Amino acid sequence: MADLVFLHHSEVSECRARIHKRFQGYASLQLVSAGAVELFYGPTRHQLGPGWLWPCNPGPITRFHAYNCESWHHRHVAVAGAKLDHWRSTGLWPHQPQDTRAIAGTAATWDRMAGYLQHGREALATCALTELLLLLAEHRDTSAEQGWLKQAKLALEAGTSITDVAADSTMPVSTFRRRFHRHTGLSPQDYAIARRIDQARNLLETSDQPIGHIAEQLGYREVAFFSRQFRQRLGVSPQVYRDSSRDQV
């Protein structure tokens, strides 16, 4: 099986489906854009209005349907594979419903993912889904996010070593790693790499800078190492990503 398999996706402007099932071997994300949904994970009940996103994960029986309305505007995507398993084990994949109304770019990123899937560009759809998951993870615990975490993120994005960031946060490295992972769903190293790759993706899409210049700008000493890291996380080389993103209409 590939690292990530897109099983199906859809957008229905007047959805009247009544879902009652146990998910096995795959997971999905659902997004309501208009109307409202009543959701149950086993006996646990949620009422979700426009802008709410929720996962359907293997586990208890999941039920959802329109709530106090005839239908709702529904988007969904279902995936399986080793990458999904990794996302779930690290906490990057959500486990509970999440309000996305304050998260700029959620719907646009979702639509970009759907557009890639419609054109059969699953590697780019994986990039967009990863970006969406990072957006969600960043905002999951914002109410509890303390100053040390904001500063740590900025320092990691600037290329500061984990040891120095932990020291600036007045924590042992092991404690810093554990607390950072609990708040973000990512290790400090994975967070720093994800941010670098995200910046690289934006530069590849929006500029004509040579790939070597982009690598240097992002702090890479060797363009070969940058290209290898980019491919490991997105499944394609920087050049292929640039060409594919510009072919997308």
The model's pLDDT over 163-208, given as tens digits with 9 standing for 90+, comes to: 999 998 888 898 899 888 877 767 898 888 888 888 888 899 888 9
Q: Among 72, 107, 140, which residue terminates a domain?
A: 140
> β-pairing, 37-41 with 44-48?
antiparallel
Q: In this structure, what CATH number is given to the domain that contains residue 223?
A: 1.10.10.60
Among the listed residues 130, 131, 175, the one whose alpha carbon sits nearest the alpha carbon of residue 149: 175
Whether residue 72 is found in the same domain as residue 121: yes
The first and second tokens of residue 46, run together, are 């949620």
Provide the domain count of the chain: 3
Residues 77, 22 share a domain: yes
| 115 and 13 housed in the same domain | yes
**Tokens of residue 185, six digits:** 């769903």
Q: Six-digit token pair at 202?
A: 């934006």
Residues 129 and 59 both lie in one domain? yes
**What three-state secondary structure class fits 41?**
strand
| pTM as predicted | 0.61
What local confidence, expressed as pLDDT, does residue 119 receive?
93
Are 83 and 3 contacting, i.e. CB atoms less than 8 angstroms apart? yes
Report the relative pairing of strands 72-80 and 27-34 from DSSP bridges.
antiparallel
Give the residue numbers spanning the domain of 88: 5-140
**Distance separating alpha carbons of residues 36 and 69, to the nearest angstrom:** 7
CATH number for the domain including 120? 2.60.120.280
| pLDDT 10s digits, 72-99 | 999 999 999 999 998 988 788 998 899 9
Quick one: 104 and 134 in the same domain? yes
The pLDDT value given to residue 247: 62
12 shares its domain with 66: yes
Residue type for position 34 = A
Domain ends where: 185, 213, 238?
185
Q: Do both 134 and 165 map to the same domain?
A: no
Are residues 179 and 231 both part of a single domain? no
Residues 179 and 201 in one domain: no
Question: DSSP labels for 185-233?
Answer: SS-HHHHHHHHHHHHHHHHHHH----HHHHHHHTT-S-HHHHHHHHHHH
Please say whether the beta carbons of 55 and 27 come within 8 A.
yes
Shared domain for 196 and 227, answered yes or no, is yes
Shared domain check, 205 and 103: no
Tell me: do 123 and 201 sit in the same domain.
no
Which of these three, 71, 106, 140, is where a domain ends? 140
Q: Show the low-confidence residues of the chain (pLDDT under 70).
A: 1-2, 141-146, 185, 246-249
Predicted pLDDT of residue 1 = 45
Separation CA 192–CA 216 (nearest Å): 16
